[in-house]
Chains A and B, each alone.
Chain A
Amino acid sequence: MPPRQTLLASGTQSKMSRPDLPQLVALFAQECRIAFRGATFWSLAAASALVAAWRAATPGTTSAIAAYRAAEVILLGLGVLAIFLAAASAARDRRQRAAELVLAKPQGSSPSLVLLRFAAVWVSLAVISAIALAATSLAQISVSGTAWHPYPYAHALARTLLPVGLAAALGFSLSTIFTTSLASAVAAIYWVIIPLTRPHVATVFDLTLSQHWPFAALLTALLMLLTAAFYARPIRDRGPATAHLGWAVALLLLAASVAAYSVATNGADALLDPDPILSAIAAQSCLADPRAPGFWLPDAHGRLIALSDHTNRPIVLTFWGPAVGESARSLILIRNLAAESRSLGFARIAVCVDRDRAAMQPFIGDAGSDTVMLWDRGRHFGDGTYAGDSPAAVAYDVGELPTTFILDRERRVTGRIIGDASPDRVRAEVTRAIGR
């Protein structure tokens, strides 16, 4: 037998080489071609575009609101589909019986192939998101009658990339490691259940929140590195999925420990870093509603709460400021009134008007746990101009803090109390609102 050096130098083998950048680029282009071709990609793109556009096609919807609603569709709907799409991509060789052809090639089981495949899926999901946002944009221009602005759409695309990428990584890695779609289905159920039960779950569990982007990026990287390492093993010796359950359980326990630590050190729900863009987008709906100005405002934890979440009952809406002494008294008074007069059945929303969101934290106890505490501090991007720090307060024409509004079941303003509110006055206004 000739020595190895001779073998490598002989014949055509010398033309082959280690993967270089042009080869990786060519391979990535091929992976993208595979991801983009076929009915699945276009069906998903069409469905996402239709749903997103339908949610934006309402008169008065601004670019910011339309983009925010499209982002919701992408994060929830496309996020779930991304899990299955990526799982299908990871199982492609198995499904098409091409695994042995691929794995017998020098680069067939290389980590770079796994990462390129995942990147191609991610790119295809980003393109679907862009198509959905473009459709939303068209719907807004043609139906809403409001000024179109590109910034909210660009922002919506940017803030969906990581969570959707994380969803894809979950599907890709679970499908590769467990070789069953059942694991992806569990991830998909989790992906839907947690955001839908958002008010009752600590935000640390909600992977769709764009505020979690460092965590999402870290988790995505970890999952893909694990998958790449796993993929490099010979195909027939990977053993049954149960052999890896130990690792999965260990990882889950680790994640649960991190979550438990987070809850223990930060309370039930950790304060998230404020996302000023999110607040700005949310506050745009002040301009979109013909009745009492509607809004989406972030609570103390960065979750967006809509006024329209509280329908079919009167609302006592208090604008207050931590620096104004009477504010705290009003909050306590309304809390006591709600406790005494449960039959009135009104909802309490307290909107803090202040630059520092953390300043409202000490007053949460005063307002009572049933009071929805929101933060009205944003910038106005609806028509592209700067319009003030507290758009909800501006929309309600609040000149003085505290100011309490009484809204009836149809969200019409039936009463307005400026300054310190007396229990009798509030009770009378609420009774009047119910009576209408």
Chain B
Amino acid sequence: MQVEITGLRKVYPGGVVALKGLDLTIPPGIFGLLGPNGSGKTTLMRILATLLEPTAGNARVGGYDVRTEKASVRELLGYLPEEFGFYPNLTAYEMLDYLALLGRINDPKERQARIEQSLHRVDLDQVTGRRVGTFSSGMKRRLGIAQAILNNPRVLILDEPASGLDPEGRVRLRDLLAELAGDRVVILSTHIVNEVASIAQRLAILRRGQCLFRGRLSDLLEPLKGTTWIIDINEDELSRVRQDFEVTGVFRSATGMQVRVLANAMSHPRGHATEPTLDDAYVALMNRDAAQTDPPCERDAEQDEPA
């Protein structure tokens, strides 16, 4: 079971280019999609969830074409959109029952068992009879996750799953995803770097519809080894440090400020070496891509679009 993406392009009506010929193979395990807002993560997930037609290229989920074999793809899928809602007049149980029926879980006993199990997994089994309209945003997000795992999917696509969850909810989500992963493909998108670092075995970093990196986290960090530093500075020094170094993070410490920087050699007297993190790698990738890419890249890509 894997997801294969070949030359995937998406141009929205109006000429906005969301994906520019993406190539990606996603094997079983947890796969993180990382990128700033507008990088094409949600577009990619919607295409994989058969909600959006690609303009060009191809994507196959478990061997099924997302364009021509939608029903088969949907049977394999669990999908949690970034923004969603439920019917407020239904209870949590009734809502899942409805979605389970749409998921063609036809046997009533099996449906009941799956619903109860899903609600238990997201810790909503105490409120099954409560109307969804009375739920907090965190509870709704958990119910969203419950509906995504309802059919025990082989491919789970989660768009910003931790958004709106409290710290405890995030920990539970992480545990749940680790438990679910196994031989399944779990794709989760986020723009919060640390979320991916703590959970995903592999990741891809997108920016402006292009893939800047794909692979294991260790592959991403390896080139940065020996080039990551922490400098203890005063507040007055920050602007000078920014001029001299590629800054990947600024933090306050008990004594003043700490700045994480990338550099082949450290010239600052209070600088000391440290291990690279995903944050460092992400910022470095973004900075280098921004330096290489002309700003109106959407226009360029648009001109490439066949008539």
Binding site for B on A (CB under 8 A): 1-4, 7, 11-13, 15-20, 22-23, 26-27, 30, 33-34, 37-38, 92, 96-98, 100-109, 113, 234-237, 239-240
CA distance A38 to B87 in the complex (A): 11
Asked if B7 is at the interface (CB within 8 A of a chain A CB), the reply is no
A-B pairs under 8 A by CB, number: 126
Closest 10 CB pairs of A and B: A97-B85, A105-B102, A100-B81, A104-B79, A12-B152, A106-B74, A23-B106, A96-B85, A37-B89, A236-B52
B24 within 8 A of A: no
- Check B249 for interface membership: any CB of A closer than 8 A: no
Query: B46 contacts the other chain (Cβ, under 8 Å)?
Result: yes
Closest Cβ of chain B to A180, distance in Å, is 17
Whether A16 contacts B85 in the complex (CB less than 8 A), given A37-B90, A107-B103, comes out as no
Chain-A contact segment, one of B93-101, B270-278, B288-296: B93-101
Let me know if A15 and B105 touch, CB within 8 A.
yes
Q: Is the beta-carbon distance between A38 and B144 smaller than 8 angstroms?
A: no
Q: Write the B87-127 contact mask toward A (1 if CB under 8 angstroms, else 0).
A: 11110001001110111111110100000000000000000
A6 to chain B, nearest CB (A): 10
B259 CB–A CB distance under 8 Å:
no
CA distance A273 to B173 in the complex (A): 67
User: Which residues of chain B are near A30, meaning CB under 8 Å?
Assistant: 94, 97-98, 101
Find out whether the CB atom of B94 lies under 8 angstroms from the CB atom of A100: no
Contact present for A235 and B51 (CB under 8 Å): yes
Q: What are 30 sample pairs from A and B whose C-beta atoms fall under 8 A apart?
A: A7-B63, A11-B154, A12-B151, A13-B75, A17-B104, A20-B106, A26-B108, A30-B101, A33-B90, A33-B94, A34-B98, A92-B87, A96-B85, A96-B87, A96-B88, A98-B87, A100-B79, A100-B81, A101-B81, A104-B49, A104-B51, A105-B99, A106-B71, A107-B101, A107-B103, A109-B70, A113-B102, A234-B53, A239-B13, A240-B13
Closest CB in chain A relative to B229 CB, distance in Å = 44
Q: Which residues of A contact B94 (CB under 8 A)?
A: 30, 33
In the complex, which residues of chain B have a beta carbon less than 8 angstroms from the beta carbon of A11?
152, 154
A234 to B55, CA, bound (A): 13
Q: How far is the CA of A7 from the CA of B2 in the complex (A)?
A: 11
User: Can you name the residue of chain B whose Cβ is closest to the Cβ of A40?
Assistant: B89
Q: Does B39 contact A (CB under 8 A)?
A: no
* Contact residues in A for B154 (Cβ distance below 8 Å): 7, 11, 13
State whether A100 and B108 are in contact (beta carbons under 8 Å apart), knowing that A13-B154, A34-B90, A108-B102 are contacts in the complex: no
CA distance A15 to B75 in the complex (A): 11
CA distance A109 to B88 in the complex (A): 21
Once the chains bind, are B101 and A103 in contact (CB under 8 Å)?
no
Complex contacts, A27 vs chain B, CB 8 Å: 98, 101-102
A17 touches B101 (CB 8 A): no
Q: Mark B127-139, 1 if CB is under 8 A from A, else 0.
A: 0000000000000
One digit per residue, 1 when the CB lies within 8 angstroms of any chain A CB and 0 when it does not, for chain B 54-87 equals 0000000011100000110011110101011111
| Minimal beta-carbon separation of B249 from chain A (angstroms) | 34
| Contact flag A107-B50 (CB < 8 Å), given A13-B76, A30-B97 | no
Indicate whether B147 reaches chain A with its CB closer than 8 angstroms. yes
Give the residues in chain B near A34, CB-CB below 8 Å. Answer: 87, 89-90, 98
- Chain B min CB distance to A46 (Å): 18
Known: A1-B2, A101-B144. A22 touches B13 (CB 8 A): no
**A26: which of B13, B53, B101 is its contact (CB, 8 Å)?**
B101
CB closest residue in chain A, given B83:
A97
Name the residue of chain A whose CB is nearest to the CB of B147.
A101
Q: Which of A2, A15, A100 contacts B110 (CB 8 A)?
A: A15
- The CA of A27 and the CA of B101, in the complex, are separated in Å by 6
A20 to chain B, nearest CB (A): 6
Is B192 an interface residue when CB atoms closer than 8 A count as contact? no
Contact B51 A236 (CB under 8 A): yes
Give chain B residues whose Cβ lies under 8 Å from the Cβ of A19.
Answer: 104, 106
Q: Which residues of B contact A239 (CB under 8 A)?
A: 13
Q: How far is the CA of A375 from the CA of B10 in the complex (A)?
A: 67
- Nearest-neighbor residue (CB-CB) of A108 within chain B: B102
* Any A CB within 8 A of the CB of B1: yes
Say yes or no: A104 contacts B1, CB within 8 Å.
no
Complex CA distance for A38 and B133, rounded to whole angstroms: 11
Alpha-carbon gap, A123 to B98, bound state (A)? 19
Closest chain B residue, CB of each to CB of A23: B106
Q: In the complex, A13→B103 CA distance in Å?
A: 11
CA distance A166 to B66 in the complex (A): 36
A335 to chain B, nearest CB (A): 62
A2 to B102, Cβ gap below 8 A?
A: no
Residue of A nearest to B106 (CB): A23
Q: How far is the CA of A114 from the CA of B99 in the complex (A)?
A: 15
The complex places the Cα of A101 from the Cα of B150 at a distance, in Å, of 12
- Expressed in whole angstroms, the minimum distance between the Cβ of A97 and any Cβ of chain B is 4
- Scoring A4, A113, A234, A239 by chain B CB atoms within 10 A of each residue's CB, the highest score goes to A234
One digit per residue, 1 when the CB lies within 8 angstroms of any chain A CB and 0 when it does not, for chain B 1-41 equals 11000000000010000000000000000000000000000
One of B63, B84, B86 near A4 (C-beta < 8 A): B63
B15 to chain A, nearest CB (A): 14
B50→A16 contact, CB < 8 A? no
Complex alpha-carbon distance, A18 and B71, angstroms: 10
Q: Look across to chain B and name the residue whose beta carbon is closest to the beta carbon of A30.
A: B98
Q: Interface centre among B46, B79, B98, B103, by most A CB within 10 Å?
A: B98
Please give, as numbers and ranges, the residues of chain B lying within 8 Å of A109 by CB-CB distance: 70
Q: How far is the CB of A425 from chain B (nearest CB, A)?
A: 70
Q: Shortest beta-carbon distance, B275 to chain A, in Å? A: 36
Could you tell me if B76 and A98 are in contact, using CB atoms closer than 8 angstroms?
A: no
Query: Of all chain A residues, which has the CB nearest B74?
Result: A106
Among A2, A38, A113, A234, the residue within 8 A (CB) of B50 is: A234
Q: A234-B52, A240-B13 are in contact. List 13 more A-B contacts (CB 8 A).
A: A12-B152, A13-B75, A13-B76, A22-B106, A26-B101, A34-B90, A98-B84, A98-B86, A104-B49, A104-B74, A107-B104, A237-B53, A239-B13
| A16 x B1 contact (CB < 8 A) | no
- Using Cβ atoms and an 8 Å threshold, which residues of chain B touch A237? 52-53
Q: Are B79 and A2 in contact (CB under 8 A)?
A: no
Report the bound CA distance from A25 to B13 in whole Å: 39
For residue B117, give the distance in angstroms from its CB to the closest CB of chain A.
11
B43 closest partner in A (C-beta): A236
Contact indicator B62/A100 (Cβ below 8 Å): no
Assess the A106–B152 pair: CB atoms within 8 A. no
Contact B101–A7 (Cβ < 8 Å): no
Return A132 CB to nearest CB of chain B, in Å: 23
- Residue of B with least CB distance to A24: B101
**Chain A residue contacts of B99, Cβ below 8 A:** 101-102, 105
Whether B106 contacts A17 by the Cβ 8 Å rule is yes
